[in-house]
Structures are given as C-alpha cells and as structure tokens.
Amino acid sequence: MKRFSRRQFLGLVGGSAVASALAACAPAQAPSAPSAPAPTGPRGEVTILQGVDANTLDPDFRNSVPEFNVNAHIFDMFLWRDPKTLEPKPWIVREWRNVDDLTWEFKLVEGAKFHDGTPVDAEAAKFSLERHTKGQVGGKPIVPALRRLINFDRVEVVDRYTFRVKTTAPAATILDQLTNHEIMPPSVYADESADNLAKVAVKPVGSGPYKFVEWVKDQRLIMEANPDYWGPKPQIQRLIWKPVAELSTRILALQRGEADIIVNVAPDQMANVERGGNARICRVKGGRNIFVGIRCDRPYLSDKRVRQALNYAVNFDAINRAILNGVGERTRTIITRPSEQPPNAKPYPYDPDKARQLLKEAGVPEGFKVVMDSPNGRYIKDKEIAQAIAQDLQRIGLQVELKVLDWALYAGDMLAKRQPDDLFFLGLGSPFNAQSELNYIHPDFSLNSTYWVNEEFIRLYDELSRTLDRAKRQQLINRLWEVAYDDPPWIYVWHQVDIYGVSNRLEWECRPDERILLHEARLRS
C-alpha cells in the first residue's frame, strides 16, 4: 500500500499553491480536503525524554520548548513551518492573502473539530487570536508579544471558515508568528475563572493529531492518536513524554529500549548513544545563536575596530575540534532561513595578526583588562567555549577576567538589569525570520544589553518592518547584515547544533527549530 507522508500529502493537495505561498504576500493554499487517506492505522507507543517537564499547557502561559512540543501535538498551530526551508506552510489555515497592506485574510480547512466535538471555525480563530493578544488572562498578566509583533488591531469573521486580521501597520512576520500559536476551542478556554484556568493548564483540549490522556507531573504525559483528525492521520498510537534531567540516564534509557527519542545529547556523548546498536544520532544545525555580547558603551569597546578585532581573535576551528567534537561551524550570519540569508555572508576568519593590528590602530593599551561573563550549563559547553574565547583574547594582548555564574543569577539579575560586564556569553533561540533575528541587535530589544547604536541599522530596520515586498525586503536584509558584520555588536560564535538520540525502530527526523514533532513519524515494522 502506498504511504503518504504529511509532506507528500501537502505537496499533492496544495501543489503549486504552496509554492506561491512562499511569496509571503501572495495567496496561498493548502489541503482543502479535511482528511487524507490513512495508509495504516496508528500503532505502537513512543517515549520521548525531554530534559524538563512542562510547567503549564495553557497556550498563553507556556514559554518553553518542552511545552511547545506537547502542545504542538494536542493543538494545531495555525500554520506549519517547513523543517528544510524554514518557511511557514499551510496547515489548519489552508490559504491566505493580503487584502491590503493592513489586512490579512485566512481560510481554515473545513470540517475540522476540536477534541470536545466543537467546530474549528473562524469564530474559534478569532477567539484564539484575541486571547493570544490580551495583556491578561483571568487576571494574570501575560506577555501579549503577538499584539506587538504583528501590530495587531482586530480580527473580523468573514464567513464560517474565513477570518481577517487587521493590523495597525504592515506585519510581514505574521505568518511566522502563526506557526507558533495554537487555535483553541472557545467552549473550553472562554471561562477565565481560576478553577477553569487551573484545569486547562493541565488538561489541554485542542484539535491536533493527538488527544490528551494523562499528565502525572514530573513523571509522564500521555497522549493518544486522534482517529478523527482532519489532516494526515498519525501513525503512532500513543506518545509518552517524560522528563529526565540527567543526560546519562536518558542515554541509558535509550540504549535499553525504554525511550525512543532523547534530547540534548552532548557532542562528546554521541558515540555512547550509538554504542549497542539500538539507537542512532540525529544531528541538525539549530537556530540557537551563540554569541558574546560586547558592551559598546564601554571604553575602547565603542570603537568598531576593537569589536572587529575581538571577532578576528577567536579561533573557532580549535574550539570546534577540542570542545565540540567537530560538530560546530562558525556563524556566517545570524539569519537562519536559507532563502533570507545574504548571498555573500561569510564568517569572520581567525586572524590574530589583524586583530592585534586593529587594537593598535584603535589605541588599545597592551594588557587592557576586560571582564567576561558566562553562564554554566545553559548552552552546550558554554563555560568551556567562554574559557577558550578568553584565552584567544589574551593572545591578542587583552587581559580577560572570566566570571562564570549560575543561569538563574545570570539571567534573573544581570541580564534583567541589563548590566552585564564588558563581554557576556549568551544564546538566543531563533524565530526563523530575518526581521526578528536582526531585532536581537536592535536597541529596543529587551534582552539587548550591548548598548550598540548604529543609526544606519536603525533606519534600515524601521524600513524593513514596514515593507511587505519580498524582493525589497531581501535588499534591506542584505544591507542590514553588512552593517552588523562590519560594525559588530557581538563576537559571532556559532549556531548551536541540536543532537538527539533516536531509537532505530523509529522513523523520525530532527528539525532545526528545536521542535520534536511526530506528525510524520512511524515505527518500523
């Protein structure tokens, strides 16, 4: 029997309309039929070990990857992100178009139902988007980032399956944002009483390919295949999500066949995972951008030649060999989506002579002291990489004092107050669109503690955020990156590689966006 993967299914039904959807402003289409033929019934059980348990499954209070991973199976996100191109693709929103610069029209698939039997319709979409853009739910404050990021004004219901999002200014990243937001049944989530909020936080109801069964906190979260799913039928009957904090425990569980997917395998543990022949490694260059922020408001560091020197000083190849088992690659550009990457982007080469020359030109005295902060254990080999970078900087004549701090203190105090030392090691997950990624070095970004102000960058960025035309946007993105490369606010280090251990009995591929999605996964017979 011929089997259809989700991607094949979309390709068959959406066809060329999907391709046109890539031109963000053009109309897009997706599966118009509510369901695809199920090649076989779902079978088997798959266990996924994440580092931590979810805190809450309420879509407006969750803010971590493990929570997203669970919700992405119980709910439908409005749109899907293609794991290769990283472009938003049709999903339960099957097509869209720009009515004008301030109006986006979306059409939902017809006939889909939430797990409580209520219809997935434009009213539900309106309800969900309004909840996602509120400042408070049930009196509890939430970050209505979506409101700001898409310049949200209001939602209008056009007909049963069509709705329009009105924005106060052009919102080019709206499609990206919709890949991260759930559509929710008003029948379950409209009640904002404390009791109901406490209930839905642990018993989510969505329209996704899996139905919630049980969540014993810190032990297991179980979901079952939804036989009435509107889209491609899931091929695995039961998913079990467990939190296991300790990596060696996760590896043992995988080797013993007690787990099928494990997260955050350290580069030096890859061989261990494959030992025994039960499991393989799935490795993908992720979106988490690891860098060393530079305080541009400090003496000498305000000079772009000094910041260039810091970039030239880092011997990433040595770091890669000694610390990362060769899996890393130095940052070429902070823009991750292939179609948006500047064509000529290249990493800073290792050139300590040039670095010394630049420092000399900038008048930096020999032995100039800088303090560098690093978290410990937050990112892959963070402290070790920070130590190596500190040594590289000492080789070009700087004196570096490295301060290693626990993450809670690092983020909760130092970054929150925007008062890190001269240099600070940090990683930021990617939103996978250039506009949001370039925003990370914009002075208005809340986590930006570099105090870097480049007037040309700010002007071009403002223009980018108002532009919908794809070709024009690409020109702006290319120039913005040139500015950020030439006048660097960061030492560009690498994009973290995400490494998973995967049982050999499971057909599943990892994605660059840190999401574990088993919509297409199946067990080998």
Partner 1 sequence: MGVYIVRRLLQTVPVILGVTALVYFILFQTGDPTFLMVSTDASREEVERIRRELGFDQPWYIQYIQFLGRAVRGDFGVSLRQGQPVLNIILERYPATLELTFAAMFIAIVLALPLGVISATRRNSAFDNLAMAFALVGQSTPVFFLGIILLFVFGGLLGWFPIGGRGRGDLGDELRHLILPAITLGTFSVARNARLVRSTLLEVLGQDYVRTARAKGLAERVVIWQHALKNALIPVVTVVGLEFGTLLGGAVITETVFAWPGVGSLVIRAIGQKDFPVVVGTVTVLSLSFVLINLIVDLLYGYLDPRVRYR
Task: Give the residue with the Cβ less far from partner 1, 47 or 333.
Answer: 47
- Residue 63's contacts (CB-CB under 8 Å, 6 or more residues apart) are none
Alpha-helical (H) ranges within 323-418 are: 352-361, 382-395, 407-409
**How would you class 159 by CB atoms within 10 Å of its CB: exposed for 0-12, middle for 13-18, buried for 19 or more?**
exposed
Cα 414 from Cα 405, distance rounded (Å): 10
Residue with tokens 């560091």: 301
Interface with partner 1 includes 408 (CB under 8 A)?
yes
* Binding residue (CB under 8 A) for partner 1 from 84, 140, 466, 472: 140
Cα 226 from Cα 208, distance rounded (Å): 7
Helix or strand run (H / E) with residue 6: helix 6-14
* Binding residue (CB under 8 A) for partner 1 from 3, 43, 84, 148: 148
* Binding residue (CB under 8 A) for partner 1 from 338, 349, 363, 429: 429
* Binding residue (CB under 8 A) for partner 1 from 16, 117, 159, 246: 246
Angle 378-510-314 (CA atoms, 0-180°, nearest 5)? Answer: 45
Alpha-helical (H) ranges within 344-454 are: 352-361, 382-395, 407-409, 434-439
Cα 422 from Cα 370, distance rounded (Å): 6
Nearest distance in Å: CB 411, partner 1: 6
* Binding residue (CB under 8 A) for partner 1 from 220, 283, 470, 505: 220
Please tell me whether residue 193 adopts helix, strand or coil conformation. Answer: coil
Nearest distance in Å: CB 203, partner 1: 12
Interface with partner 1 includes 242 (CB under 8 A)?
yes
* Binding residue (CB under 8 A) for partner 1 from 197, 301, 484, 517: 197
Task: Give the residue with the Cβ less far from partner 1, 168 or 249.
Answer: 249
Nearest distance in Å: CB 398, partner 1: 29
Nearest distance in Å: CB 192, partner 1: 12
Nearest distance in Å: CB 195, partner 1: 11
**CA dist 278 to 21, 159, 263, 274, 501, Å?**
41, 52, 16, 7, 10
Interface with partner 1 includes 404 (CB under 8 A)?
no
Task: Give the residue with the Cβ less far from partner 1, 221 or 306.
Answer: 221
Give the residues lining the site for partner 1 (CB under 8 A): 52-53, 55-56, 58, 61, 63, 135-136, 140-145, 148-149, 197-198, 201-202, 216-220, 242-246, 248-249, 252-253, 255-256, 258, 407-409, 411-417, 428-429, 431, 444, 446-447
